[in-house]
Amino acid sequence: MRTTKFFLLLLLAVALISCDSALDENPSGKLSGDQLNTPSRVEGLVTAAYAALGNGHWTAATYTDPWPWGSVRSDNAYKGGGSVADQGEYNNYEQFSSIRTDLAKADQFWTKSYQGISRANLAIERLNQLSEEDFPEKATRLAEVRFIRGHFYFMLKIMFKHVPFIEAGEEGPLKNVSNREFTSQELWDKIAADFQFAADNLPPSQSQPGRIDQWAAKAYLAKTRLYQAYRQDNSNHQVVEIQDDKLQEVVRLVDEIQSAGPFRLFDDIRKNFLWEFDNTSDGEAVFAVQRSRNDGTVRGRVNMENALNYPMNEGFGCCWFHIPSQNFVNAFQTGSDGLPEFDSFNQTSLTDPQDFQQNTVDPRLDHSVAIEGHPFKYDNEQIYDPNVWARTPQTYGPFTSMKGLQPVGSPSVEQVVFFYASSKNNNVIRYADVLLWKAEALIELGREDEALPIINRIRRRASDSKVKTAEGDNVSNYNVEPYRDGQNINWTQENAREALRFERRLELGMEGWRFFDLVRWGIAAETLNDYFEAEAQRREYLQDASFQEGRDEYLPIPQQQIDFSDGSYVQNPGWN
Amino acid sequence: MTLQRALLLSFALVLVLAGPAAAQDQHAVEGTVTSAADGTALPGVNVVVKGTSIGTTTDGSGRYTLRAPAPTDTLVFSFVGYQTREVPIQERTSIDVTLQSSTLTQDEVVVTGYQSQQRRTLTGSVSSVEVQELEDDPSTNPIKSLQGRVAGLNVQTTGSPFGNATLQIRGASTLGDNSPLFVIDGIPTKNNVEQILSPGSIESIQVLKDAAAASIYGSRASNGVIVIETKEGGEGNTLEFSYGSDVTFSNWPDGRTYDPLNTRERATALFRAAINDGRDPNTVAPLYSYDFDRRDDGTAELNDITIAESIGNNTPAAVPGTDWTEQISQTGVVQSHNLSARVGSDRGSAYFGLRFHDNEGIIEQNEFQRVNAQINSSFNFFDGRVRVGENLTLSKEKGVPLPEGAGGNPFLLSLRLRPIIPVRTADGAFAGPTGAGSFSDRDNPVRLIEDNRWDEINTGEVFGNINGAVDLTEDLTLQGRFGVDWERTQERDIQQRYQTGFLGRSVNSVQNADTDDFIWTLNATAEYDVLIGESHSVNLLAGAETQDQHLVSNSSLREEFSVQTLDFFVENAGTGRQLVEGFRTDSRLLSYFSKADYSFQDRYLASATIRYDGSSRFGENNRFGLFPAFSLGWRVTEESFMEDRFAFLSELKLRGSWGRVGNQEIEDFAALQLFEPGFSSDDVLFTSPTSTAYDLGGNDAGAIPGGFRRTQRANDNLQWEETTEIGIGADYGLLDDKLVGSIDYFTRETTDILIQPGFIATVGEGGSQFINGATVETSGFEVQLEYRDEIGALNYSVSANVGHSSDEITELPADVVDSFPGNSEKNILGRSQFSHFGFVTDGLFRSQEEVDNHATQPGAAVGRLRFEDLNGDGRINSLDQKYLGDSNPDYEYGLSTNLSYGGLDLSVFFQGVQGREVNVAEFKSFTDFTSFFRGENYGSRVLDAYSPKTGQNLDSDIPSPTLSDTNGELRTSSYLIEDGSYLKLREVTLGYNLPEAVTGPLNLNRARLYARGENLFTVETGSDEFTGPDPETTNFTFPRPRRWTFGVRLGF
C-alpha cells in the first residue's frame, strides 16, 4: 500500500505546516509602526514632514503658493484658464456669490493641510521617544517639525479662521476635537507657540540649506503676531482692536532679524523670481520650500502648485491660469512725482503697448505681468503676444502672470506629461515682506516716521529693477520715487498706512497674499466690491461677483468635515 | 489548537472505517446510444457499471462495449445535457438506449467542492449551467455569457474586448469585494482564471449559491462559489477530434452612440449659453463670430455665424466638423479556432484542447490575441482503484490596450474633443488643440492611437494541478491535489515625442513592467461511503488545504531615444533618465474541513459541514475562524402516500439550510500600522503628490533624501467577516419531468464586515484603517423553470429564471456612518449600500419671479434647476437631501427558448433587469449640463435645452446652457437619477447539423454550421425615459457592441 503511505504523508505535510507560524508573513518594502524607533528612521519622518511642504498641488492644496486663494480672490488676479468653467470651483470662490459649503476644493485644501500636520505630529511623537544621547539632533529636529506644523496651521487659520488644533499623540477620536476648542486669539497663540519653540531651539544656520533655521522661525512668528494683532470680532470678522503688544513683538522680532540675520534685499527684484538665485546665501529668501528635479523621483519635486499657470506658447503649453487683472496693472501707474496714484489709478486702463509708453509706471509691473510686446521673463527672444500666449483673452484679458513662472527653456523647467513645472523654490517669506511687516507694525503703533525709510528702501530697489529691451532701453516708461515727507506727501499715519498698503500690493502682488492682507486690515468687503463694480465693466464675467461682508472673509468649514465631526465643528458665520 | 486535532482525528477515523474490496465476475455488453429527440447517435456518452468505476464512453457513432462484473449489474448512461438513465443488464448482451435531453434533472452529477454528488441528494442551492450553450459564444471570457442564465447570478460587463465581467451571486452581502470564489478543477482562485478558459473545454459550471453549499470553502465562500470542471478524456477506447471555427463582426449598436455636436451646432449652443448668461457671445468664442440682434429685454436672435478659417498653428478649421467617433471606430472582427482531441484507453484518457482567439475591438488598434491550451489526463491502475491525473490550462495573451492620453482614452476623447479640430494640419501632421482656440488640453485620439500602437500587454498563465486518488476500499477514497496558479504579466508603454497644437511631449520613453503572481495550493481529502443496512447511506469527507501567494512586480522607465522605432525602444538604447519601481506582497491560508452527508432511502437527506480557516491577513489573535453549516432535504415524491394522489408530480424535494461562511478579501497586512518610503509620486499631473522626498541639501538635483509616510493605522483586533445564511427551497418536476424547476428563498446576515471607512481629515495622512464594522442583511428569492416537449419532430423548450435580492445596511459604527451617502440628519442605516442620496429637483426656474419666491439657493437663476427646500427652512443646503433609490436591481431575469427540428436548431435568449436606479451624471454633463466649458464638445441634447433668451425649446426641462455652472447642477439630484431597467435580445442562434448522409461519407460524426446575432435590440423598460445611450452600460462605459457570428464545428 505504497499509495496509502503517500497520502498519509501528504496529510502529515499539511498538518505540519499547520503550526501558527505558518501564517506569519512580513510586509515587504514597508515598516510596521513598531519598527520605526531608531534615530535614522525617525529622521525619515522628519524628512517626510519637510516633503509635505512640497506636496502642494494646483487642484487646491496651494499652501505654499496660494495663488487661487490669496490672489484670484483679490483684486489682483482672475482665475483664467480655458473658460470660467475650467476648474470651475475656483470661479465660485473668485466671484464669492455662489460658494457652497460642500465644494471640493476647500475640502481638499483642508485635508491636505492636515496630512502635513499629521506628518509633523508623527515625527514629534517618535522624536519625543528618543533620548538626547541617542539622538543629539533631537531638539533641532523637534523645532523643525514644529515649524512645519506651524506653517500648516497658519495657512488653515487664514483660510478658515476656526480650525481644530491637533497635538502630537492626541488620544481619542479626533472628531471630538472641535474647531472652537480655542478662540481665534488662543489659536493664534497655539500657532505662535510652534514658531516660538522653533525660534528657541533652532541654530542661526544649518549645514543643509534646505533645513529651516532660527531666522525663518522668528520671521514666521512675526507674521503670526502681525495677523493676530488685528483682533476680529467673532460674529462678522470686523477688526475691533489692533493689539499694540503684538505689534511691538513684530517690531522686536524684525529688528533681531535685521541686526543679526543673514538677509539683504537683492539688488534687483528679479532675482527673487529666477531659479538661478535659489539658496543664495545672504539673499532675500527667509523661508523657501525647496524644489528639485533630476533628483531620483519620477517627476522631480517640482512646483505643481502653479503648474496650471504657464501660458499657451510653444515651449510651455498650458493652461494660462492666474491672470493679472486690469485693476492690478493700472495700480502700477505713477504720477509725475513717481508715486502711485492712490485715488485715480483705476480711472484709466493701461492695456495696449503704447499705454505703457505714454504713461509712467513702476518697474515692478514688468516683473509681475506679461504685456504685449514686452519680453517674457526678461528674455528678449520671447516677446509676449497675447494672440498666441493667452488662452481666453476675450474673457480674461490679454495679460499673463510671470512671477511664479520660469523663462522658456530654463533648465529648471520640467515637462510633467504635458504640464510644465519648475524646480524654482517657493518663497513663502522673503525679506522685503518681512521689512514691510515691520513698517506696518510701526505705522499702526503711531511710529510712521520710522516706517518711512523702510518703505523707501523697497522703492529704491524697485527703481533699480528696470527691465530692459535688447537695445538697453526701458521696456516701459518708468518713474518711481521714494516718499518725501512734506515734498511729495504728508507723512501722516493715515497717508503712511495707505502708502504701506499700496506698497505691499506693488511689491508682493501675484505672490498669493493680497486677499489675506485685505482681510487682516479689515477692508476686504469695501475693496473688493469697489473692484467688482469697476472691473465688471471690463470683464463682463464678473457681473454677478459680490463680496458679502461678515461672511466671505473666511471660507466655510467644509461640509464634508462637519458631517464627519458629528456636529462638533461649528460652521463659520453666514454659511448656515 | 484542539479543534485542529479533533478534525485530524475525525479524518483518521474515516481511514479506520475502511473495509476490504470484493472480487467480481465478468459479463460483456454492447449497444448504441441515441438521442430521444431526433434519433441521432450520441458520441461521448458515459456508460458506467453502477456502483463501480468500470465504464466507457460511446464512440463517434454512439456505440459502446464494456465488460460488467456481473450480468445482474445495472448500467448508468450519463451525458451532459441529457437525463441520466439506469438500465439493469438482466443478462442481456446488447442494450440500445435513448436519452432525453434535460437541464434540471435529479440525476445530473453536480460537482460541489472536493467531491461530486447527484442532484437528488443535494440539500444546498446549486445551479448548473448548460455549457453547450456557451460553446457557440465567441466571447473572450466564457463567464460573460452566463448573464441571465442562472437565477440569482448577476453579471455586469462592458463592450471592451478585454472584457472583464463583474459577478455577484445573490446580490451584495458585503461592502467591499462581492465577487465569488472560483474553484477550477478543484483549485480555488480569486484571480479571474475563468476568463482564460476556452468555452469549448469546459465540461461543467456549477453555481453554489447558499452558505450550505458553499461552506466547504469556508473562509472565502461568502460571495458564493462557482465550480468549473474542464473536460476529461474519453472513456474506453476512444479517439475523437473536433474542430470549430467562428468569425464575429461587431459594431456600435444602432442609435446607441453619443451623438456629439458638429462645429456649427456647437457654435449655436455656445451662442445660447452666452445669451442666457447675459454675456456678449463674441467675447466668449474665439473662433466663431456671431451676427445677432439683441433686444432691450436681453433676448437675442442669431442671424449668422462665421467660423474662423483656421484655428491657428497652420491648422484649418473643420467644417462641418470632424466626427471623431467615426475616425477611431472600425468594424470589430473576432476570430477563433478550436481544435480538440479526446482519447481514451483502458488505462487512461486525455483531453487536449487548443484555441486561438483574435479579437479586434470596435476602436482601432484595440485588440488582442490569445492562444490557450487545455491538457487534461488521467490514468488508472489496479482496476481503477488508483487514479493519477493532471489538469493544465496554459494561456498566452498579447494585446494592445486602449491608450490613455490627456483627457482619457480615445473613446472619451472622441466625444470630448471639439469637432472644429481636424485630424491633421495643413502640412499633414496631426492636429491638436491650439492656444488661440481656447481649447482644453485634450489629445487628438487618432494621434493617440497611432503613437500607442507599440504598447502591449503580454500575459502568460499556467493554471493546473496534479492529482491522485486511491480507493483504499470500495468505500474509502483518498485524494490529493497540488495546484499552481501562476500569472505573469509584462506591459510595455512607449511614449513617443509629439507636438499637436499646444500639447506635446519633448521626451520619449519606454516603460516595461513585469508582474509575477504565483499561488500554490495543496489539498488532501478522504471520502468514505457507507451503507448501513438497506436504508441508511452515509458519506463522510475530511480534508485539509493550504494556499500560499506571492505577488512581485517590477517596472523600469527609460527616457530619451534618438530613434523612434519599435526595435529601438529598449532600455539600453536610451540616453536619458532611468527609474525603477517594484513591490512584493505575500499571504497564506490554512484550512481544515469535514463534511457528512446522510440519506435515508434517498428520501430524507441531511448534510453537515465544518471548516476551520486561518489567514495571514488577520491579527495574530484572530487568525482562525470556524465556519459550520447544516442542511436538510426531503424528497416528498419518494413517499408512498404521494404516488396516487399526486401523480402529476414526478419530483418534489424540499430543502432547508443554515450556514456560515467567511470573507478575508482585504489587503495583506491589513491589521498593522504601516509606513512606506513612498519616495516618489509619479501621477502628479492631476493628483496631489504624496512623496516623502525633499531636497534638504538645497542642490536642486542629485540624490535627495526620502523618509517614511504612514499608509495605514493598526487594528490588532481585525478578524474574519462572517455571513450567516438561512435558505429554503424546492426542486420540482411535473408531468413526467416535462416541467422542471426550482424555487429558493434566502436571507443572509453579514456581520463584522471588513471595511476601510473614510475618516475625518484631522486624522491625517495614512489614517485609513481596516475595521470589522458593518452589518448587512440581504434577502431574496430565485425561481427557475423549464418546460420541454415535442410536437412530432419538433422539440422545443422554454425556460425562464428570475432572481430578486435586496440589501440593507443594518448596523454601522458611529465613525463609519459618515463615509456613506447621507448628511448630519439622515443616514444609510436601513438602506441599500447602493443608495443614491441627493437633492430633489423641481423643474427649472422660468422667471425671475420664481427665483425670488424660492428659498435661497446659491446660483439660482432663470433656466437653472430648482432644488426643493425639503426641510422648509428657506435655504437650500446639505440638509435638503434625501435618498433617491438604489442601483441594485429589483429583479433580474432571463428568458430563452430552444427549438430543434431535424438538423435545425434555433435558440433565442432575452435578458433583462428591472427596478434599478442609476446616476447618469457623467452622461448628462455631456448632453445637458451646460457648464459650457469652451475647450470641449457636448452631446446634441444641448440643442434641445431651454433657452428663454433666444426663444428655443421653451417647454424643455433641460436646464439652459450656461458658461459656468454656478448652481452646482452636477450634484446628485433626482434630475440625475434615472431608471435603468432594460430588456435586451441578447442572442439568437440558428444552427444546422448536417445529416449523416452528408457527414458519413466525409467520415465526420458531427458537422454543424451556425449563425448568431447578439445585442440585437434593447427595450428600455424603466418607469421614466432613459437619457443615456444604453441603460446597461451607463455613462461613458464602453457600450456593448452588436455582433454577428458565423461558425462551423466538425467532429471526427
Model confidence pLDDT, tens digit, residues B631-646: 999 988 888 777 777 7
Q: B19: pLDDT confidence band, cut at 50, 70 and 90?
A: very low
The pLDDT tens digits of the residues spanning A482-525 come to 999 999 999 999 999 999 999 999 999 999 999 999 999 999 99
Amino acid (1-letter code) at residue A314:
E
The pLDDT tens digits of the residues spanning B133-147 come to 677 777 767 777 778
Convert B782-802 to b/e letters by CB count within 10 Å (16 or more is b).
bbbbbbbebeeeebbbbbbbb
- Is the pLDDT higher at A36 or at B803? B803
Selected residue of A2, A16, A31, A389 to mutate for chain B interface (largest B Cβ count, 10 A): A31
- Is the pLDDT higher at B173 or at B808? B808
Please state, in angstroms and rounded to a whole number, the distance separating the CA atoms of residues B642 and B649.
8
Mapped onto helix, strand or coil, the DSSP state of residue A34 is helix
Please state, in angstroms and rounded to a whole number, the distance separating the CA atoms of residues A368 and A414.
22
Partner B, chain A 526-545, Cβ-Cβ below 8 Å: 540-541, 543-544
pLDDT higher than 90, residue B1032 = no
Element (H, E) at B206: strand B202-208
Cβ contact A170:A122 at 8 Å: no
pLDDT for A458: 98
Q: B16: pLDDT confidence band, cut at 50, 70 and 90?
A: very low
CA-angle at B443, arms to B1043 and A391, nearest 5°: 145
Inter-chain residue contact B966 with A91, CB threshold 8 Å: yes
* For residues A49-67, average pLDDT: 96
Q: How far is CA B443 from the centre of its chain?
A: 31
Q: B17: pLDDT confidence band, cut at 50, 70 and 90?
A: very low
* For residues A404-411, average pLDDT: 94
Portion of chain A with pLDDT greater than 70, in percent = 96
Inter-chain residue contact A30 with B439, CB threshold 8 Å: no
Partner A, chain B 148-177, Cβ-Cβ below 8 Å: none
* For residues B584-606, average pLDDT: 88
The pLDDT tens digits of the residues spanning B735-776 come to 878 898 999 999 999 999 888 888 999 999 999 999 888 899
Please state, in angstroms and rounded to a whole number, the distance separating the CA atoms of residues A468 and A448.
34
The pLDDT tens digits of the residues spanning A434-454 come to 999 999 999 999 999 999 999
pLDDT higher than 80, residue B176 = no
CA-angle at A420, arms to A415 and A421, nearest 5°: 100
pLDDT for A93: 96
Inter-chain residue contact A394 with B285, CB threshold 8 Å: yes
The pLDDT tens digits of the residues spanning B891-941 come to 999 999 989 887 888 999 999 999 999 998 888 888 886 666 667 899 888
* For residues B408-429, average pLDDT: 90
pLDDT higher than 50, residue B197 = yes
Report chain B's mean pLDDT, rounded to a whole number: 85
Convert B126-136 to b/e letters by CB count within 10 Å (16 or more is b).
bbbbbbebbbb
* For residues B414-441, average pLDDT: 88
Mean pLDDT comparison of A355-369, B201-215, B452-466, highest-scoring range: A355-369
Please state, in angstroms and as integers, the Cα–Cα distance from residue B526 to each residue in B54, B188, B194, B228, B477, following that order: 21, 18, 27, 21, 6
Inter-chain residue contact B682 with A564, CB threshold 8 Å: no
The pLDDT tens digits of the residues spanning B30-68 come to 888 887 666 677 777 888 887 666 777 787 778 888 888
Mapped onto helix, strand or coil, the DSSP state of residue B245 is strand
Q: B866: pLDDT confidence band, cut at 50, 70 and 90?
A: very high
> Which has the minimum average pLDDT: A348-357, B165-174, B461-470, B828-837?
B165-174
Nearest CA in chain A to B557: A298
> Which has the minimum average pLDDT: A376-380, B178-182, B913-917?
B178-182
Q: B252: pLDDT confidence band, cut at 50, 70 and 90?
A: confident
End-to-end CA distance of chain B: 57
pLDDT higher than 50, residue B8 = no
* For residues B418-444, average pLDDT: 88
Partner B, chain A 360-389, Cβ-Cβ below 8 Å: 387-389
Q: Tell me, what's the ipTM?
A: 0.94
* For residues A415-430, average pLDDT: 92
Q: Are strands A369-370 and B238-251 parallel, antiparallel or unpaired?
A: unpaired
Helix boundaries (H) for B904-980 = 921-927
- Is the pLDDT higher at B828 or at A519? A519
pLDDT higher than 60, residue B195 = yes
pLDDT higher than 80, residue B2 = no
Closest CA of chain B from A158, distance in Å: 17
Please state, in angstroms and as integers, the Cα–Cα distance from residue B812 to each residue in B65, B750, B753, B757, following that order: 64, 12, 9, 10
Inter-chain residue contact A174 with B699, CB threshold 8 Å: no
pLDDT higher than 60, residue A318 = yes
Tell the burial category of B273 from Cβ atoms under 10 Å away from its Cβ (0-12, 13-18, 19+): buried
pLDDT higher than 80, residue B402 = yes
Convert A189-228 to b/e letters by CB count within 10 Å (16 or more is b).
ebbbebbbbbbebbeeebeebbbbbbbbbbbbbbbbbbbb
pLDDT higher than 80, residue B116 = no
Please state, in angstroms and rounded to a whole number, the distance separating the CA atoms of residues A156 and B12.
68
Give me the residue from A26, A33, A417 closest to B714, CB to CB. Answer: A33
Inter-chain residue contact B284 with A290, CB threshold 8 Å: no
Give me the residue from A98, A388, A417 closest to B685, CB to CB. Answer: A417
Q: B10: pLDDT confidence band, cut at 50, 70 and 90?
A: very low
Chain A residues with beta carbon closer than 8 angstroms to that of B284: 83, 394-395
Nearest CA in chain A to B874: A576
For the CA atoms of B711, B714, B718, B723, the dihedral, rounded to the nearest 10 degrees, stands at: -30
Maximum distance among all alpha carbons in chain A?
Answer: 118
Report chain A's mean pLDDT, rounded to a whole number: 93
Portion of chain B with pLDDT greater than 70, in percent = 94
* For residues B258-263, average pLDDT: 88
Please state, in angstroms and rounded to a whole number, the distance separating the CA atoms of residues A533 and B831.
50
Element (H, E) at A443: helix A431-444
pLDDT higher than 50, residue B987 = yes
The pLDDT tens digits of the residues spanning B717-731 come to 888 889 999 999 999
Please state, in angstroms and rounded to a whole number, the distance separating the CA atoms of residues B305 and B267.
8
pLDDT higher than 80, residue B837 = yes
* For residues B997-1013, average pLDDT: 84
* For residues A44-73, average pLDDT: 96
Q: Does A55 touch chain B (CB under 8 A)?
A: yes
